[in-house]
Amino acid sequence: MHPAFSIIFFTTASGAGYGLLILLGLGAASELLPADRWFGLVGMGLSLGLITAGLLSSTFHLGHPERAWRALSQWRSSWLSREGVLAVVTYAPAGLLAIGWVFLETASGIWALCGVLAAVFALATVYCTSMIYASLKTIRYWHNRWVPPVFLGFALASGALWLNALAAAFGVTGAWLLIAAMVFTALAWILKGLYWRDVRSAVASSTIESATGLGHIGSVRMLDPPHTQDNYLLTEMAYGVARKHSDKLRRLAVILGLLLPIALLPVAAMTGGAAAFALALLTAVSGSAGIVIERWLFFAEAQHTVTLYYGAQAA
């Protein structure tokens, strides 16, 4: 599939925003985070800013962005619609939590409930985003059991890394911040490793023989393509990336997204002041860069079964 920048930015930015919102909501409700208005302002601002920027970016991939609101009406049958509805609903408890945190400097009582609700709706929204892809049976690389856990894992990992950087900026300490960042980061990449192993070992379910229904005769090959020039299907659904390039990008993603953050997080925790913030910020940026590469590969390596009619032997 063609790895459109708008969709890559949408899934990574909104994922980080929702992951951060989950941890902020639960951390505030359990009083693990300070009820300081500036901490709340920056934290909730960063979270909602990433979410909003990601959601707006997703509309750029639509042919008619002005009609995006119509997708909300199909929530009974469409994961895209469910994601849109939950994304809108999430703003309500998140906004109320921000009001209590910033203006009243409290996250207890009703505000704690808002934090929990915001975390639950954010988690559900990320799950719906993952199911937009996991529900597509025509794309083997997406119709996979590991896709939802991977999306949820990377949302929590990126959210934990940015929360750790935010805490370092305000001098907020706590062993749980380091543990959460390391555990969620490691877990996300373990899940991704299981996904990569699964898709590489799986046998393609669709072939040119099954697509044409001529497999009972013998092997099939295309004499002529359906079109004599590039079209939308070839541009969007027949994008290819060489195996050697994908292997290099996969190693780079693991280095930036996993190895570097895991190595720097303990060092940042043992230092203080500006050095701790600089290291924590570096881990967040590095981790996010690794996730961007991972997400690019997620789209670039996927192959739609329609490519079988354009020369592909299996999909």
CATH number at residue 124: 1.20.1630.10
Cβ-contact 163, 40 below 8 angstroms: no
Counted residue by residue, the chain has a size of 315
- Give the chain's end-to-end CA distance (angstroms, integer): 12
Cβ-contact 115, 123 below 8 angstroms: no
The letter for the amino acid at 96 is L
Give the whole-angstrom CA distance, residue 190 versus residue 181. 14
* pTM for the model: 0.90
Could you tell me if residue 137 is inside a domain?
Answer: yes
What pLDDT does residue 238 have? Answer: 61
Q: What are phi and psi of 36, to 5 degrees?
A: -95, 130
Could you tell me if residue 234 is inside a domain?
Answer: yes
Could you tell me if residue 26 is inside a domain?
Answer: yes
Could you tell me if residue 315 is inside a domain?
Answer: no
Could you tell me if residue 124 is inside a domain?
Answer: yes
Location of structure tokens 């950087």: 165
Low-confidence spans in the chain with pLDDT less than 50: none
Q: Which two tokens stand for residue 160?
A: 């934990």
Give the whole-angstrom CA distance, residue 259 versus residue 297. 19
Q: What per-residue string of b and e applies to 56-85 under the rule 16 or more CB within 10 Å gives b?
A: bbbbeeeeeeeeeeebbeebeebbbbbbbb
The letter for the amino acid at 176 is W
Could you tell me if residue 15 is inside a domain?
Answer: yes
Q: What's the number of domains the chain is made of? A: 1
Cβ-contact 284, 162 below 8 angstroms: yes
What pLDDT does residue 65 have? Answer: 62
Cβ-contact 163, 173 below 8 angstroms: no
Could you tell me if residue 91 is inside a domain?
Answer: yes
What pLDDT does residue 27 have? Answer: 96
What pLDDT does residue 217 have? Answer: 79
What pLDDT does residue 274 have? Answer: 92
Rg of the chain over Cα atoms, rounded to whole angstroms, equals 22
Q: Which two tokens stand for residue 60?
A: 């750029």
Give the whole-angstrom CA distance, residue 49 versus residue 54. 8
Look at residues 140, 132, 144 and name the one whose alpha carbon lies nearest to residue 304.
Answer: 140
Could you tell me if residue 73 is inside a domain?
Answer: yes
Q: What is the DSSP string of 239-280?
A: ----HHHHHHHHHHHHIIIIIHHHHHHHHHHHS-HHHHHHHH
What pLDDT does residue 237 have? Answer: 61
Domain limits at 296? 5-310
Look at residues 237, 246, 257 and name the one whose alpha carbon lies nearest to residue 139.
Answer: 237
What pLDDT does residue 231 have? Answer: 62
